[in-house]
Amino acid sequence: MIEIVVATKNPDKIREIEKLLAGVRAKFSAYRGASPAETGKTLVENAAIKALAAARATQKWSIADDTGLEVAALGGRPGVRSARFAGPRAIYEDNVKKLLRLMKGLPRAKRKAVFKTAVCIASPDGKVYTVEGRCAGLIRESPDGKNGFGYDPVFYHPPSKKTFARMTLAEKNRVSHRARAIAKAALIIGRLSIAIS
């Protein structure tokens, strides 16, 4: 069976990814090495930097994701800088506060946002496969809900009529950007498993 190192250290993301990969026929383990600097200009570049670093260090196949929230009214910000939007040491609440401040008073039509996740699967010898998943929604004027993480309390998903932070993990994993990207990645892992078995 193909063995794949999961190159994410964020426990909130790991919780989701573990569930999303549960049905995939591969042996997954956590990457314990140093995290590379996320110096890419795009989500795809950053996902590839993380996956390649883990694949090289472990000499195993590796999977990594990079996620950003793009708000059209802010010219696509916070985008690739979503984790550090309010500064290098920003915590989730700081980023959410900055987002709400910048969007204060904007009408519903200007509150459209898209979560995007790039997932990269990399081989020890440097082959990369990248896929993307997205989920469209609206940024609320104030937080609502306690579940999830990051921008979830202000991300309202119209088809579900609630924020991500009001969803259970199972509900979020049916519709989220990360779920859609990982579903595509699972297809690639399936093909790789066949090719190397």
> Which residues of this protein are in contact with ligand IMP, per CB under 6 A?
10, 65-67, 82-83, 92, 95, 148-152, 164, 176, 178
CA dist., res. 127 & res. 52, Å (int): 8
C-beta of 78: minimal distance to ligand IMP in Å? Answer: 8
CA dist., res. 138 & res. 154, Å (int): 8
C-beta of 75: minimal distance to ligand IMP in Å? Answer: 17
Residue with Cβ nearer ligand IMP (2 or 96): 96
Parallel/antiparallel/unpaired status of strands 112-122 and 27-30: unpaired
Residue 5 DSSP code:
E
Parallel/antiparallel/unpaired status of strands 112-122 and 78-79: unpaired
C-beta of 111: minimal distance to ligand IMP in Å? Answer: 16
Whether 118 contacts 132, CB under 8 Å = yes
Known active-site residue 66? yes
- The residue number whose beta carbon is nearest to ligand IMP equals 150
Amino acid of residue 145: G
Compute the chain's Rg from CA coordinates.
Answer: 17
**Active-site entry in 66, 125, 144, 152:** 66
Q: Which residues are catalytic?
A: 66
